[in-house]
Amino acid sequence: MSRWIGGALLVVALVWLPGCTGKRGEHFTLEVDMPAEFKVKTAANYHPAPGETCTLPQRRGRRPERKVFFTEYEPVASRVSYELPLTETVDGCPLVVSSVVFDFYAKWGKRDTDVGGDIAGISIQDRLEDKLPTMPESRVHELSGQCQWLFRTVGPQHAIIKVLKCNSLSEGGQLQKTPAGGVVQRAQLTGKTLRMALHVIGEERPYMGDNWIRFPQGWRRCRGKSLEDQDAFCRGNTTDFKSFKMPDGRICDWYPHCTE
C-alpha cells in the first residue's frame, strides 16, 4: 500500500513539475550596465492586462504595482541584475509589465554638488512595428545608450558646471535624438534577458549653442553684451570673450585646459 502511495506521489510530482517550470518562465531578467561613478533608480511599472476592466485604487506613497530598485555609486563600471515577473495580480487585478524607467545620476567632479543626471526608459508592448528588432538568438536583448557631459557657466562668476545627456544608439551604433532606451515586445521576454547598457564618451560639448566658440586649442566663452551678461550669446562676435571659473577655483580663458 505504501509503495502504491509513493508511486502515486511520484506521478503527481512529475505532472506538477512542468507547470512549476512554466510559471517561472513568466519572469525575465533585467540588467543595467553603468559606467564608473554612476548610480540608478530603476522602476518597473505594471498596468491591467489587455482585456481587463479592473482598475487599481489611487494611492499616496506605497504603490504595489510598481517595483523600485536603487544602487549606489561605484568607482568602476558595474552591472546590476533583477528578476522581474511579466505578470502579477494586485488587489485581484491581473497586471502585466508595461515599462521600465531609469533615473541615472553620475559624478563629474569631487564636490557633493558635482552631479548630473538623465533618464532612460523601455516601453514593453503587446505588439511591435515591423521595423523594430526582435529578440536575438543569444536570448539577450541589449538596448545601448551613449552619454555625454555638456558644460555651461552659471552665476556672476561664470562657474563651470556639467549636465549629463544620454541618448539611444541604433543597432548599427548610430546616435539617435531620442532618450536612451527603446521598445520591446512583452511576449518575447519570457525567460530572456533585457539589458540597458550605457557608456560615456570622453568628448564634452557646450550645453547650449551660440555661447562658446571652438578653436584648435579648446573652447572660449563668448563675452555677450558685457562681462556681467550671464547668457552671453555670441551672435556672430568671434573676437570678444570672457573668463570663467573652473570647478577647482581657477579663473580660466580656455576650456577644458584653462590656458591656450
DSSP code string of 150-189: EEEEETTTTEEEEEEEEEEE-TT--EEEEESEEEEEGGGG
Average pLDDT, the chain: 87
Q: What CA–CA distance (Å, rounded) separates 133 from 56?
A: 32
pLDDT digits (tens, 9 = 90+) for 38-68: 999 999 999 999 999 898 877 766 788 899 9
Mean of pLDDT values over 106-122 = 96
Flag whether pLDDT at 166 surpasses 70.
Answer: yes
CB distance 37 to 83 below 8 Å: no
CB distance 85 to 188 below 8 Å: no
Of 6-20, 32-46, 102-116, minimum mean pLDDT range: 6-20
Mean of pLDDT values over 161-165 = 98
Flag whether pLDDT at 20 surpasses 70.
Answer: no
Give me the pLDDT at residue 107, please.
97
Pick from 198, 195, 202: nearest CA to 179: 198
Flag whether pLDDT at 24 surpasses 60.
Answer: no
Give me the pLDDT at residue 250, please.
96
- Quote the longest CA-to-CA distance of the chain: 100
Of residues 199 and 9, more confidence is placed in: 199
Give me the pLDDT at residue 136, please.
66
Flag whether pLDDT at 196 surpasses 70.
Answer: yes
Cis peptide before 206 (omega within 30 of 0): no
Give me the pLDDT at residue 21, please.
32
pTM: 0.83
Mean of pLDDT values over 206-222 = 95
Residue ranges of domains in the chain: 26-148+164-200, 208-252
What torsion, rounded to 10 degrees, do the Cα atoms 156, 211, 149, 143 define?
140
Backbone angles phi, psi at 99, to 5 degrees: -165, 160
Give residue 129's pLDDT band: very low, low, confident or very high (50, 70, 90): low
Of residues 218 and 260, more confidence is placed in: 218
What torsion, rounded to 10 degrees, do the Cα atoms 122, 116, 171, 173 define?
170
Place of cell 548630473: 116
What three-state secondary structure class fits 145?
A: strand
Give residue 88's pLDDT band: very low, low, confident or very high (50, 70, 90): very high
